[in-house]
Chains A and B, each alone.
Chain A
Amino acid sequence: MRRACFKFSWIAAALLAPQLLIIFIFFYWPSAQALYWAFTLEQPWGGGNTWVGFDNFTKVLSDPYYWGSVRVSVIYALATTVIAMGMALTLAIFVDRQLAGYRAYRVGIIWPYAVAAPAVGLAFQFVFNPGAGIFSYINTIAPGWWDLSKYPWQAVTAIVIAGAWKQVAYSFIFFLAALQSIPRSLTEAAAMDGARPLRRMVDMQLPLLTPTFFFLLVINITDSFTDSFGIVDTLTGGGPFRATDLMVYKIYADGFRGFDYSGAAAQSIILMLLVMALTFVQFRYVERRVHYT
């Protein structure tokens, strides 16, 4: 069998080099450093470190509060992904149907993606603030019912909604692109066979969307594990009593705020392994049901 292969080319190497260098400098090097620190006790101002083997990992993994943090991170990731993708798909289907005003609507939905996470957090503070936000109207009817500083489930709900809201835009773009790439002839043929919009969606569009769906699932889950920091920091600060202490937020709090570089490095390694494991599971078990055309 003949194989098509490229000859080594200096031009190709030169073109690749900047990208590879960036990945090396901003990913592999820091990861290697973190891995090393995870097995030591690093002094923040330099000045050396002590090798402690797996101590940092055993300390973190034997801490019940850490498992609480893992639990809430998983809940957050699953909930934001389901809500964001569900909303995005619904909106994309409406836009694809070209209902009245869909152009303005399309631009409007894409915008939130350009908003930075801390800004999202701040914006939602105005929504969820028990004293002055939109939710404070609930408190005028039932005083004290809505209080982010008291009820963990409310704080978790708040960050999930804010996180999902931020993710909707990204998923929306991909769902819309995928829907629009479905040939019109297919839709029209189905319509002529008497399939109504809902039936066409369930039997035709959704199956054709599975590759996009799978891609977004992986991206959304990864993102909600690693990119939730800004929202937590501005909206709840990890509270009340650690209820929204997501793994990535805890890494920041311990490492940067508390100068425990080694503990934070160990947590980073655990987070990285967890995300890798989840991605593996998705590729292994979910991708089987995906049909690439």
Chain B
Amino acid sequence: MTFKLATTAMVLLATAGAASAEKVKFEYWYGLTGDLGAVVAETCNRFNASQDQYEAVCVGQDGYDKAVQNTIAAFRAGKHPTLVQSFDAGTADLMLSGEFYPVKKLMEDAGYSIDWANYFPGIANYYSASNGDFFSMPFNSSTPVYYYNKDQFAKAGITEAPLTWEGMEAAFKALKASGQDCGYAYAPSTWVDLEQFSMAHNVPVASNNNGYDGLDSELLFNTTLHVKHMENIQRWINEGYAMLRTQAAGKTARDSFVEGECSVFFSSIADHNTIHKLTPAFAWDVQMIPVYEGTERHNTVVGGASLWVLSGKSEDEYKAAAAYLAFLATPESEEFWVSNTGYIPVTKTGYDALLAKGFYNNQPYVNRDIALKSLTYTEPGPLTRGIRLGGFIQIRAEWQAEVEAALAGQKTMQEALDTAVARGNDQLARFAKTYAGKTFP
């Protein structure tokens, strides 16, 4: 509440300031909602209060999906914002359209020197062109981890949170034996089960190095270790170690975990903050997502969203946007963002500054940097840079629907993944045809 009041006060101050001096305004549309959206608005207020030349007009768009949809509609009408927060899967079209101002170039043109090598490579590779130049500014960054109930683990005699799926299965069995009915609250998620799983195991999601090397890519996930993993999940559900916990099934995996119903669930590190706020009645912690024995662990990649500067705006608006981006890149802003949300720092200096302060030694931040450990586990290779596929939102939807069908016993997991791949390939072919003759920059 006080936070909201503070925001209102800041907005009032900002408008009062605008009346006296002619500030250069630029619009920024963001997708985060709720508490996180309020923190984004707060970064704008902090920016507006920090100087008197520019004014960020920040507009929440009620969700990642809508932020991009509305921006496209506005763009076609020539009324788009200068800056937009876009989520990972929504950017392939934007990249090929060329209707953006690469942030590296923008910052150079505006006279800011940003040390781009300072960004964690797992983040940098995701948001940059093939020559390494940043397209967009990393902002809210996360990676998946798993959350586990320490009390239930201790009761089952598990001393260390497993780092392998074999260890995880043993943990599920031990939990069951100790009287804990549900080990794993499972909700199908392409991001965790397919994308980050494939990164951590260094197996491809699609050909052409996950789409980076051309538009004529084909999905490969029905032929990799991913199949075995999904079959295992299905088996765990059938054998009673895991339970399907989704909104449609009546309870989300996170609620199930917080209530103590299930001992483990997988999610973004951004949930770390949320779970603290929900104050579960037991000790809990996080761990890197497991890998299978006999494989070599690789880095996971960044999730979340980045900030894109769109084409077709005035010189002044670009300067204003550059000033805001430079403001966000300061260690102070990074600390403000990281300490008020569950997201992780995106720069090495930002992280080091936090470490030097002992930031991660105190609750509620303890072990939140497990995510960074996962993200920087190895240097990103050709298969662990990220995924660059068109129509990816629909590909995710195909995977989701098919996996749900398999889990409901309508088909085998292999059949489901084969169908998802075949249908996903249709999407990819369509995308390649839409942008015939173009390549990712």
Whether a CB of chain A sits under 8 angstroms from the CB of B5 is no
A224-246 contact mask (Cβ, 8 Å, vs B): 1 or 0: 00000000000011011110000
In the complex the two chains form, is B404's CB within 8 Å of A258's CB?
Answer: no
Residues of A within 8 A of B96 (CB): 43
Report chain B residues within 8 Å CB of A262. Answer: 434
CB-contacts of A1-51 with B (<8 A): 41-47, 49-50
CB proximity of B353 to chain A, nearest CB, Å: 38
Residues of B263-308 whose CB lies within 8 A of A: none
What is the minimal beta-carbon distance from A143 to any residue of chain B, in angstroms?
12
Most buried by B among A42, A130, A155: A130
- Complex Cα gap A157–B435 (Å): 41
Given B394, B405, B410, which contacts A254 in the complex, CB threshold below 8 Å? B394
B72 lies within 8 A of A45 (CB): yes
Contacts of A260 in B (CB 8 A): 391, 394, 427, 430
Stretch with Cβ within 8 A of A (4 or more), from B37-45, B155-163, B241-249, B370-378: B241-249
Which residue in chain B gives the minimum CB-CB distance to A238?
Answer: B401
- CB contacts (< 8 Å) of B69 on chain A: these are 256-257
Q: With A131-B251, A132-B251, A239-B401 known to touch, is A50 a contact of B391 (CB < 8 Å)?
A: no
Contacts of A263 in B (CB 8 A): 430
Q: Is A140 an interface residue (CB 8 A)?
A: no
Chain B residues with CB under 8 Å of A129's CB are 250
Contacts of A149 in B (CB 8 A): 244, 246, 248-250, 404
* B6 proximal to A (CB < 8 A): no
Cα A181 to Cα B436 in complex, Å, equals: 64
Q: Measured between alpha carbons, how far is A241 from B411 in the docked complex, in Å? A: 11
How far apart are A244's CB and chain B's nearest CB, in angstroms? Answer: 10
Q: Provided the pairs A131-B251, A150-B249, A260-B394 are in contact, do residues A240 and B408 lie with their beta carbons within 8 angstroms? A: yes
- Distance between Cα atoms of A239 and B188 in the complex (Å): 13
Given contacts A43-B435, A47-B97, A132-B250, contact A258 B408 (CB under 8 A): no
- Is the CB of A147 closer than 8 A to any CB of chain B? yes
Interface pair A147/B401, CB less than 8 Å apart: no
Give chain A nearest CB distance to B86 CB in angstroms.
12
How many residues on chain A are close to B (CB under 8 Å)? 37
- Chain B residue nearest to A131 (CB atoms) is B250
B65 is an interface residue with CB less than 8 A from chain A: yes
A-B pair count, CB < 8 Å, reads 99
On whether the beta carbons of A148 and B249 are closer than 8 Å, the reply is yes
- A43 B250 Cβ-Cβ under 8 A: no
**Chain A nearest Cβ from B75, distance in angstroms:** 6
Given contacts A241-B402, A241-B404, A258-B397, contact A44 B248 (CB under 8 A): no
**Is B132 an interface residue, CB under 8 A from the partner?**
no
Whether the pair B249, A41 counts as a contact (CB closer than 8 A) is no
> Does the CB pair B97–A258 fall under 8 Å?
no
Select from chain B the residue with minimum beta-carbon distance to A262.
Answer: B434
Q: Give bound CA distance, A45 to B74, whole Å.
A: 10
Q: A253: CB under 8 A from chain B?
A: yes
Residues from chain A with Cβ under 8 Å of B381 in the complex: none
Selected from A41, A131, A132, the residue in CB contact (under 8 A) with B433 is A41
Roughly how many angstroms separate A253 CA and B436 CA in the complex, as a whole number?
Answer: 24
**For A242, what are the chain B residues with a Cβ–Cβ distance below 8 Å?**
401
**Min distance, Cβ A57 to any Cβ of chain B, angstroms:** 14
In whole angstroms, how far apart are the Cα atoms of A155 and B72 in the complex? 33
Which single member of A45, A133, A236 contacts B99 (CB below 8 Å)?
A: A45
Cα distance A280–B399 in the bound complex, in angstroms: 39
Is residue A259 contacting chain B, with contact meaning CB distance below 8 A? yes
In the complex with contacts A254-B394, A260-B391, A130-B250 CB distance below 8 A? yes
* Alpha-carbon distance A99/B246, docked complex (angstroms): 46
Beta-carbon contact of B250 and A136 below 8 Å: yes
Return 27 A-B CB contacts under 8 Å, by A number. Answer: A41-B434, A43-B97, A43-B434, A46-B75, A46-B76, A47-B98, A47-B99, A49-B434, A50-B434, A52-B433, A129-B250, A130-B249, A131-B250, A132-B251, A148-B250, A150-B244, A237-B247, A237-B248, A239-B404, A241-B401, A241-B410, A253-B394, A257-B65, A257-B69, A257-B397, A258-B391, A258-B397
- 10 more A-B residue pairs beyond the given contacts A130-B249, A148-B248, A241-B404, with a C-beta to C-beta distance below 8 A: A42-B434, A45-B93, A45-B99, A46-B99, A149-B244, A149-B249, A236-B248, A256-B69, A259-B93, A262-B434
Which A residues are closer than 8 A to B by beta carbons? 41-47, 49-50, 52, 59, 129-133, 136, 147-150, 155, 236-237, 239-242, 253-254, 256-260, 262-263
